[in-house]
Structure 1
Amino acid sequence: MIELPAAVQAMSVRGPEWARWVEALPGWTQNQLREWELRVDGASTNGTTSLVLPVRTPRGQPAMLKLGFPDDESEHEHLALRRWAGNGAVRLLSAQPHRRALLLERLHSRDVTTVRDVEACAVVCGLYRHIHVPASPQFRTLTAWLELRIAELAALPRNTAVPRRLVEQALTLGRDLVSDPASRGTLVHTDLHYGNVLAGDAGRWLVIDPKPLDGDPHFEVAPMLWNRWDDLAGDVRDGVRRRFHTIVDVAGFDEDRARAWVIVRMVHNAVWELQQAPHPDPTWLTVCVAVAKAVQD
């Protein structure tokens, strides 16, 4: 029987659905190994919502078996990986989407957190041209996501802990973005940060773990600003702005549009955190507000 890492076992506290998933995971994993004739080839690890096992295929090829929690964000991960076909992203070898089971090429464990943050921003931007391809009709749309966020922001009481100026700004920007045709049509990763870019063979960097949407490439910027927060020791504002302008310059993005999406995302993140009653994380709230302010001060 597969022994789950402590971090995966701890996911059961997230709610009843998670508890059922964690309980069923060892047996489900054994069934998947048997069905694909895989041999476990090392210690298991995990993502935020998944169990990951190093395996060998029947032909001896090293691979990774990923078994994910069945949430909406991961539903179309296999479609994105299949669309990219190893171009700028980890290669998908096989998938059983209804089980959230993916067999992936095995990459190295090194990610771009090993590279200085501004240089890492340039590395990630270099992958945009490979993964920002026309979206197929199966993907959920970023505009549908944004419509829900606009409704949430509009319903906020005026005394919410997020500065009212930022809430009003996010509402105005969100309404402009949701009606703009440029907010649709491109396959976007949506969770592209330093830990989701791993080293492949021949010096290649490859993205992993997409939460794909049909959307706007400018939506990708924000996670590169809020991750590796501890690296921004000293002048946080200048550090955020250096990352922001590096991404905009290297990617050839429209600065105002990138800024708009950062503000919308960070305000949404802050509001979401406030809803995690009774214990929202004050540090994360501070990060969200600081990033939203830094890109425009």
Structure 2
Amino acid sequence: MIPLPDGVAAMARRGPRWADWVAELPSTAERLAAQWRVRPDGDPGCGHCSLVVPVRTADGVQAMLKIGFPEQDSENEHLALRLWGGHGAVKLLSADPRRHALLLERLHPRDLSTVPETQACEVVAGLYRSLHVPASPALRALSSIVARGTAELADLPRGGPIPHRLVEQAATLGRELIADRSVPDRVIHTDLHYSNVLAGDRAPWLAIDPKPLNGDPHYELAPMLWNRWDDIVADVRDGVRRRFWTLVDAAGFDEDRARAWVIVRMVHNAMWAVQDGLGADPGWLTRCVAVAKAVQD
């Protein structure tokens, strides 16, 4: 029996669906281990929505068994990993989409969290070039998600916690970006940040944990701005702008388009925080507004 780490047990408290999923995890993991002929090879860990187990294959190859919570954001992770074929991303060895399970090459635990931020931004910008392959008909479109979010902005109260000027600006920019087809859609990771890039043997750094969509590559920047927040909280404006410019320059992105997507994405995030009642992190809404302001002040 594969033991569950404490973090997975805590997931059960998120609601009935989570509790059911956690309860089934041990038997799911055992069935997958038998299916792929792997055995545990280290202590299991967990991400925000997944169990990860170091394993060895029947041939002695080190790998990682990942079982994800069944949610729409990550249901097509295996498709993106197949499209990338290990170029810029962790290599997919096998997948069981019905169980939201993946068998992946094993990378090192070191990520970009301790790498100087300018260097980390340059690494991620380099990964963009490998990951932004032509759009796939199997993936959802970013434009449809942004259209829904933009429509929802109209329901925000004028005197709410998000400055109305930002709400109106994001609504306008969202409509303009959806209508503008001058930049071809590509496969985009959508959650590429410091903790989702791990050190590897066949390449210095490789992306993990995509939540893939077809969309404008300029959409990718925002997670690099809102993560590692403690590093820039003393001077948010300069910290966000420094990261923004490093990413734009290293990736060869259009400045205005990248800025517009950051504003749209952060205001949508703030709106969802308002709708969710801020959840367990009341500082998240403040962070969203701060990033949206910093890229344009």
| Normalised TM-score (structure 1) | 0.97
Q: Could you report, residue by residue, the CA deviation over 1:244-286 in whole angstroms, capped at 9, with x for unpaired residues?
A: 0000001010011000110011111111111223756331111
Quote the Cα distance in structure 2 between the aligned partners of 1:163 and 1:280.
22
What does 1:275-290 correspond to in 2, within 5 Å?
275-277=275-277, 279=279, 281-290=281-290
Determine the structure 2 residue equivalent to 1:49. 49
CA RMSD, 1 decimal: 1.3
Quote the Cα distance in structure 2 between the aligned partners of 1:195 and 1:159.
36
Partner secondary structure for residue 71 of structure 2: coil
What does 1:1-297 correspond to in 2, within 5 Å?
1-182=1-182, 185-202=185-202, 204-277=204-277, 279=279, 281-297=281-297
Residue type matched to 2:96 in 1? Q
Q: Could you report, residue by residue, the CA deviation over 1:186-221 in whole angstroms, capped at 9, with x for unpaired residues?
A: 000000000000000155210000000000110000
Residue type matched to 2:21 in 1? W
Q: Contact 2:185–2:217 at 8 Å: present in 1 too? A: no
Evaluate the alpha carbon distance shift between residue 280 and residue 172 of structure 1 in structure 2; reply closer, same or farther with a 3 A threshold.
farther
Quote the Cα distance in structure 2 between the aligned partners of 1:144 and 1:201.
38
Quote the Cα distance in structure 2 between the aligned partners of 1:105 and 1:80.
15
Quote the Cα distance in structure 2 between the aligned partners of 1:88 and 1:278.
34
Q: Contact 2:278–2:284 at 8 Å: present in 1 too? A: no
Evaluate the alpha carbon distance shift between residue 289 and residue 17 of structure 1 in structure 2; reply closer, same or farther with a 3 A threshold.
same
Quote the Cα distance in structure 1 between the aligned partners of 2:278 and 2:222.
26
Give the Å deviation of 1:6: 1.2
Residue type matched to 1:67 in 2? I
Residue type matched to 1:206 in 2? L
Evaluate the alpha carbon distance shift between residue 100 and residue 280 of structure 1 in structure 2; reply closer, same or farther with a 3 A threshold.
closer
Quote the Cα distance in structure 2 between the aligned partners of 1:269 and 1:146.
11
Q: Contact 2:2–2:40 at 8 Å: present in 1 too? A: no
Stretches of structure 1 that go unaligned for 5 or more consecutive residues are none
Residue type matched to 2:108 in 1? H
Stretches of structure 2 that go unaligned for 5 or more consecutive residues are none
- Aligned length, in residue pairs: 297
Partner secondary structure for residue 73 of structure 1: helix
